[in-house]
Structure 1
């Protein structure tokens, strides 16, 4: 029988290690040639997460509990290290000590994802597998903000002449900002005795919006790969944001499954 801890741990590492590796690549592409030290550090993180991916390939869902716990601790250290690097770059950027082509919001965005990844590994090693109602709302706030950020990045990296796509991205940005505010309000006002019906409605509404954004990203990715729209968006970045939308939908499925289990 599959150990849920092992399966969840390996799944988190498989998804987020690739994301961390790509973050390092995107940062390196955005630096100028004078920032060779920061580029070299980014390359070291690419190598670090490639090694984690290689080690991950040797694990299976039947791997031992202690072995996976040790791997989680190892990957946690890597996630914490890249978080620290990203915050250093953001600090240098905000103090105007370096100028490059990475938006400050993008650097903050990817540092939030590194913190999320590290925290998930810590929670798993502490035995926290099933989310509480508070976890459901907080995790949705996190991912809704990620989706809102993606829409903003897409809008700013498209060529200004792509007016229709720029406007669509702006609309998605506004819609997801509103969903973030709505989630924060829900977290503040929800009565404890009526948690599950409110969460069901909340998750259903988020699913509809995320599916719409996911489909927009899929179309944009295909157009970028076919060189049919003008933008500064790297094809891998387009695929990267699409995968994160897919991940959010999987998490909504997981939360809904847990709520259904609680109803029984």
Structure 2
């Protein structure tokens, strides 16, 4: 079981450390030239998570359990510092102490992702290798909101002349918000054991919606690569959101399995 603990931990860290590194990059792009201290901090976080990503890639799946647990906590602490930095930047923008080329909702979005990653690392060190049935609703609420956010951000980064793509992004945002509201409504109808059948049906709807937004994000990536898109979307941002869609599709498979199989044994 220790090997499975290392495998799950390293999989999460390899994915999310790259995401955190890119968050620092996006923040750095959004600051103005006179905000040198914030830019310097963003650079430090970029290199910090680049180092974590490289170290995670060097670990073997059969690494000692205690070594992986220590690494998880080290990454947790680094992510906590990044989360604090993001919230500080958000506070500076909302209080009009700085003006940056960053949507406040975007900074809140990337803060939520950091908090999710921190929580996942804690779960792994407690022996929770895969989501439990009772967490299926929470996991979907989190990722459905992320996907709705992505569609909004893309719509706002497209040139106003890209009417068809803006309309498609807006429709996707609405679709994911409706799915999100369905899950929030279901949240008060727990326990999950009594709503398993409903959850199974809803996850099928989520998979269909995910395939739609996945295809849309792939189109955005390809148009950027071909220099056929008008807007201010950075190619790395398009790829970033595409990879997060892949991650949610993978997670949906685990969530669907958890409804029938139940929780896995502890990692210890």
Provide TM-score, normalisation by structure 1.
0.96
Q: Compute the displacement of 1:260 (Å).
A: 3.3
Give deviations 1:100-132, integer Å, cap 9, x for gaps: 111000000000000000110011101122323
Q: CA deviation at 1:95?
A: 0.3
Runs of at least 5 residues in structure 1 that lack an aligned partner in the other structure = none
Moved more, 210-219 or 182-191: 182-191
Q: 1:122 to 1:193 in 2, by over 3 A?
A: closer
Residue in structure 2 matched with residue 159 of structure 1 by the alignment: 159
Matches within 5 A, 1:1-264: 3-190=3-190, 192-262=192-262
Q: Distance in 2 between matches of 1:173 and 1:38?
A: 31
Distance in 1 (CA, whole Å) between partners of 2:72 and 2:131 is 19
CA RMSD, 1 decimal = 1.4
Which range moved further: 122-131 or 236-245? 122-131
Poorly superposed stretches of 4+, deviation over 4 Å: 190-193
Distance 1:102 1:52 in 2: 26
Q: Matched residues in 1 for 2:28 and 2:125: separation?
A: 32
Counterpart-to-counterpart distance in 1, 2:114 and 2:26: 14
Quick check: 1:158–1:166 contact (8 Å CA) kept in 2? yes
Q: Give the conservation status (yes or no) of the 8 Å contact 1:149–1:173.
A: yes
Structure 2 residue matching 1:54: 3-state secondary structure: helix
1:261 Cα offset (Å)? 2.2
Question: Shift in Å at residue 145 of structure 1?
Answer: 0.3
How many Å apart are 1:191 and its aligned residue?
Answer: 5.5
**Structure 1 residues 206-239: Cα deviation after superposition (integer angstroms, max 9, x where no partner):** 1100110010000011101211010100000000
SS at match of 2:188: helix
- Whether contact under 8 Å (1:6, 1:65) holds in the other structure is yes
